[in-house]
Amino acid sequence: MKLIQGILITLIPLGIMYLVTKAKPELRYTLSANLPTSFLPDVNKTETIQQLEIKNTGDILIKRILIKVNKKITDYSLKKYSELDSVKVSQEGNFEMIYPELPPSSSIKLVLKIIGEELTPENISIFHNDGKALEALTEKTGIQYIYYGLCLFYLFLIVTGFKNLKVGSLDTYAIYKPYYKILQREKPWYVSIKKWTDLRNDAIDNLFVYESSYKIEESLSLKFLNQEKEKNLTEDEWRRILKKSKDWFIEKLSVIVAEEHTDFSNLLELQRPKNIDSESWNKINKIISTSYISSKIRKLLGYVNIEGCQEILKLNKPEFIRDEDWNRMKEIVDQLFISTVLDNLKYTFYSIKYLNEIDLDGVSEKRKNQFKKIFETISNSLRYQSLLKELKNVSKQYPLNKEKPPDIETEDWEELKIIESNIVSIKKETDKDLHEIMMAKADIIPLKEKVQKQLDIINNVLNNPTEINRIEDYNTTFSDGNFKNLKELVLLKSKDK
């Protein structure tokens, strides 16, 4: 139907334009009433004088105009269009005149004198090459009716097309701008009540299909949830809009808070809209609260570190966040904090110093107590390990460092220094004694060798007295007196035999 209508709208203007612009002949005439002659002298009272005016009302030249009057004409007078026009007249029987031509908008005037009753249009016939002349007041011809009818029809099509165009634009608005272009306005005059009802229903269905706001706190749905009903909305429409606004807001909110880089700053300042029920508001509160906590934990788990844990533990709970969600987050971060501290101890050389410098602000009392126990256990273990290490070094006579290791208490370090000092003193005394012993050993060894040699000589001469004679005085290890006594002993032993 729309295709046919489109074709008609295209073709009909062309036809009308052709009819309007087409050159067409139109010759019309007027016949006056009987002209008064009482003031004229010598005029027969039975004569009638009338004027016949013939005019070219068309837009082309009309040729060979034939004028016939079926009554006896006693006299006539002609006012030509041009004095050069050649006119033929015949008065044999009825009156006839042939006028050569009349240009558009030109006319001729013929005054006729007759005897008897005046002329009527029925007594006159006027012809030309393209048709017949019409009385000036005669109704329009068939083609003219068609022309005007087509004009009216085309006007109808234009109005209908305009209406369809406007209604079509409303169909588009019901999809892309449903609130501002449909729901906020009154029914246009060119739209039927049924169509307008359908448009408004479609607008409500498409209310948030093309929602353009990038921030949910600036969305149209939240605007509806916070405002009063507008006058152009019915109660049923307002109820449907509020339900759709609530559902869309919750759905969109669930998507936004699940994104990785969601900014919760404005969401945490959100106030309860006046047109939302408690159950739905609690649902919104839960979505934002749990998502905020999840985002904090998710960000921390991406790179677990002491500073990240401390940053979260030192946060003040936003009013919008539920206590149960906040406590759950604190518990998780508490555990991550302690676990991270213990993991870092594996790679920390000065563990006690590291533990002492950890900031416990924000950590729960439970974790603080747990941390203190861990700290005491690790501190004692590391202190004993460090003391044992230093003791081993001292026992190996390695000197202590000038600076105290952080894992060793000052009191223990001072005792270590005393032990080191004592060991050094003892070592010095031992070295002195050892030196003296070595010096004494140097004196004893020659004496021992001398005594051993003397014993060997005594043993030999006692077993064989003749050996004494083989010992020279200069080769003996005995003193002169002792060697003399040895000889006398050998001599006595020889006599006994």
| pLDDT tens sequence across 269-301 | 999 999 999 999 999 999 999 999 999 888 888
pLDDT score at 196: 92
Q: Could you tell me whether strands 73-79 and 107-115 are parallel, antiparallel, or unpaired per DSSP bridges? A: antiparallel
Position with higher pLDDT, 326 vs 371? 326
Rounded mean pLDDT of 34-55? 71
d(CA 474, CA 457): 14
Predicted confidence (pLDDT) per residue in 382-411, tens digit: 777 777 777 777 776 777 777 777 767 777
d(CA 86, CA 157): 51
Please check the confidence at residue 18 and state whether its pLDDT lies above 60.
Answer: no
Average pLDDT score, the chain: 80
Using a pLDDT cut of 70, give the percent of the chain over it.
79
Which range has the top average pLDDT, 139-153, 303-317, 354-368? 303-317
pLDDT score at 285: 94
Q: Which residues contact 28 (CB under 8 A, 6 or more apart)?
A: 54, 55, 57, 133, 134, 135, 136, 138
Rounded mean pLDDT of 187-198? 90
**What residues does each domain of the chain span?**
27-138, 277-408, 435-497
Predicted confidence (pLDDT) per residue in 420-475, tens digit: 777 767 777 777 777 777 777 776 777 777 777 777 777 777 777 777 676 766 56
Predicted confidence (pLDDT) per residue in 58-81, tens digit: 888 998 989 888 888 888 888 888
Q: How many CB atoms lie within 10 A of CB 462?
A: 14
Please check the confidence at residue 239 and state whether its pLDDT lies above 90.
Answer: yes
Tokens of 228: 């009063």
Look up the CATH architecture of domain 27-138.
Sandwich (2.60)
Q: Could you tell me whether strands 27-31 and 134-135 are parallel, antiparallel, or unpaired per DSSP bridges? A: parallel
pLDDT score at 25: 82
Nearest Cα neighbor of 54 from 17, 93, 13, 101 is: 101
Please check the confidence at residue 257 and state whether its pLDDT lies above 60.
Answer: yes
Which range has the top average pLDDT, 44-53, 111-120, 388-397? 111-120
Range name among 244-248, 286-290, 366-370 with the lowest pLDDT average: 366-370
Q: Quick one: pLDDT band at residue 142, thresholds 50, 70, 90?
A: low
pLDDT score at 149: 73
Rounded mean pLDDT of 306-333? 88
- Contact assessment for residue 281 and residue 264, using Cβ atoms and an 8 Å cutoff: no
Burial of 310 from C-beta contacts in 10 A (0-12 / 13-18 / 19+): middle
Please check the confidence at residue 40 and state whether its pLDDT lies above 60.
Answer: no
Q: Considering only CA atoms, give the Rg of the chain.
A: 69
- Contact assessment for residue 123 and residue 70, using Cβ atoms and an 8 Å cutoff: yes
Q: Quick one: pLDDT band at residue 119, thresholds 50, 70, 90?
A: confident
- Contact assessment for residue 57 and residue 128, using Cβ atoms and an 8 Å cutoff: no
